[in-house]
Amino acid sequence: MRISTFFYALGQGFRNLLRNRWFALASIATITTCLFMFGVFYSILLNFRHIVATIEEGVSITVFFEPGTSEEIMLQRKVEIEERPEVSEVVYISAEEAWDSFKGDYLGEYAEGFTENPLEDSANLEIYLADVAHQAELVDFVEEMEEVREVNYSAMTADTLTGANRLIAYISVGLIVLLFAVSLFLISNTISVGIAVRREEITIMKYVGATDFFVRAPFVIEGLLIGLVGSAIPLGLTYVLYNKVLEYIAAHFPSLSGLVTFLPDKTVFATLVPICLIMGVGIGFLGSMFSVRKHLRV
């Protein structure tokens, strides 16, 4: 495409927006509303996913061995478990460490009455998973080891966290589908109005030899501009709202801030900005292309 053709298409795209400004504003408002809602829900879902991931990091499987199992064998099993892809970390806790921890948590000064370690056979492995959805597979693997006496884990916790992650995925997909459906409809209508207004001009252009690309390009650019503006506005609004909410929670609910760690705005918007821009521009492009192909006989 020649530079002159590009600037012509760009200029015509801006003129189309001005000619059909009310329909363009309606499309921009629709995309802004949809992407703003998406940005709000995305921020909430991303923080919820972060909270779930933090909880997952604290969920562990404890493996106890048969009495008399040597420390060498336990450490060998530790290495075998660490090699599995679903495992993030394995911690070996000796019998002495287990007794020291128990004394500090429950006995205090009364522990002085014990001359021997009552947890002599309580050396264990604490296994932390990268994804609790694979807990059952790992438990089956560990239970097949002949030295293993008992495996402590919570199936309910794993199922709850897995269900929460699945719910987040379903909600995210639903929001994206709804956003595309509504925005494509509005932009398609806007482009259709522009085509109807310029139909006579388009016919003359075709008679004098204008190519299909030359005729379509201004409408595609119009859709891209609508999508770009419609994605930039909600990003700014979401950024301001997100920081205001974090400030409000920190000021009025300090205890909640101590229990739950929220993601900083840089982390959230590092992914939200490209997603919204791609979605907005993509919706504008697809909406204009579908409309042009449907309504232009070129």
Instruction: Tell me how far apart the alpha carbons of residues 119 and 283 are, in angstroms, rounded to a whole number.
Output: 64
Lowest mean pLDDT among 32-41, 80-89, 109-118: 109-118
- Whether residue 181 contacts residue 107, with contact meaning beta carbons closer than 8 Å, is answered with no
Q: How many CB atoms lie within 10 A of CB 239?
A: 17
Mean pLDDT computed over every residue of the chain: 77
Q: Would you kindly state where each structural domain of the chain is located, as residue ranges?
A: 3-55+160-295, 60-153
> In terms of CATH architecture, what is 60-153?
2-Layer Sandwich (3.30)
* Higher-scoring residue by pLDDT: 265, 210: 265
Residue 146 has pLDDT above 70, yes or no: yes
Of the CA atoms within 13 Å of residue 182, those in its CB half-sphere come to 18
pLDDT band at 232 (very low <50, low <70, confident <90, very high): very high
Give the model confidence (pLDDT) of 37-55 as tens digits.
Answer: 888 888 888 888 787 777 7
